[in-house]
Amino acid sequence: MIDKIDETRKSFDENLSKVENLTSLEDLRIKFLSRKGLVSQLFESLKDVSKEEKPKVGQALNQLKIHTQSKFDELKEKLEKGQKSLDEFVDLTLPGRKRVIGSKHIITQTLDEIKNIFKGLGFSIYEGPELESDYYNFEALNFPPDHPARDMQDTFFVTDKFLLRTHTSPVQIRLMKEKKPPLRAIMPGKVFRNEAISAKSYCLFHQVEGLYVDTDVTFAELKGTLVAFVKQFFGQDIKYRFRASFFPFTEPSAEMDIWWEPKGKQGRWMEILGCGMVDPNVLVNVGIDPEIYTGYAFGMGIERTAMRKYGIDDIRILFDNDKRFLTQF
């Protein structure tokens, strides 16, 4: 029995020296260390050994088991470390992977283009908070508490006096309160309206509003500024028109339309912005003398402007984060 134990140990060591990978090591384990392996078979044979020899044979078997298991564990750890190093190896001679760099969202691109045009026309950029008070969003803009025009804008109220701004016009009020004329600035930013989501409307969108206050500002200057903008943005051959309209914070007020002909559809006039001369009541509210200063203001929705320029017929796709759509721009 002792001879069989010595032969098994010698055979194990010989086989162990030939192991080159984890697969062959597993074959070795099955042959010697599994439940039906050679070491287990020797332990099974211990019952046939005489009582006199059993202590000596048992000790030899335990030593064999400790030897084979420790050698197996040692080699397994070594091979696993080598395998991990191989997985982490970087071949510097291989060509590099191309980095995929994201592009600007179509809304951001449109905003940047509008900003650059108005900066070229002498406008600075001014921003304000998205959480506004009723005073800045309505009252200072000539919306009394019972004014019916408040119903024109479905509002997300946070409290009785604070809300998510429904337009960027409050930024105009903040600018006129903080600085003295002459003032010439645009106010880009997010606005919020409690509207049903559809192909043409969304509860969140972006606006750019503009303001110019100085002595002797006229409606002709307003018209000239907006015509210069649409020609740069939509192209020199763009057809446009102005229509009389109503806004509580401008008087007189107008809307500007462009002629839009989507492919395969009949052309029609499309409103792109509202504008007008700043109402004298608004100037009084911010401490500017309407007898000395006049001004004009305008505002446009960025989503609809982008949709009209790029032929997009559903506003919801602008918020879907669908890469198939976004990579087109």
Alpha helices in the chain (DSSP H): 2-17, 22-32, 38-45, 54-87, 106-120, 134-137, 169-178, 219-234, 280-285, 302-310, 323-326
Burial grade of 122 (CB within 10 A; 0-12, 13-18, 19 or more): exposed
Distance CA 62, CA 68 (A): 10
- 218 with 237: CB under 8 angstroms? no
Region 106-326: CATH code: 3.30.930.10
pLDDT score recorded for residue 229 = 96
Identify the pLDDT of residue 152: 55
Q: Tell me how crowded residue 158 is: count the other CB atoms within 10 A of its CB.
A: 11
State both tokens at 281. 């009541």
Task: Round the CA-based radius of gyration of the chain to a whole number and report it.
Answer: 40
Q: What is the pTM of this model?
A: 0.66
Q: Tens of pLDDT along the chain (329 residues)?
A: 787 888 888 888 888 888 888 888 888 888 888 888 888 887 788 777 787 887 887 888 788 888 888 888 888 888 777 665 555 566 778 787 888 777 788 999 999 999 999 999 999 999 999 999 989 988 898 887 776 656 655 788 888 889 999 899 999 999 999 999 999 999 999 999 887 888 777 888 899 999 999 999 999 999 999 999 999 999 999 999 999 999 889 999 999 999 887 777 788 888 899 999 999 999 999 999 999 999 999 999 999 888 888 888 888 888 888 888 888 87
Helix (H, G, I), strand (E, B) or coil at 283: helix
Contacts of 248 (CB under 8 A, 6+ apart): 141, 142, 143, 147, 149, 279
Domain layout of the chain by residue ranges: 2-87, 106-326
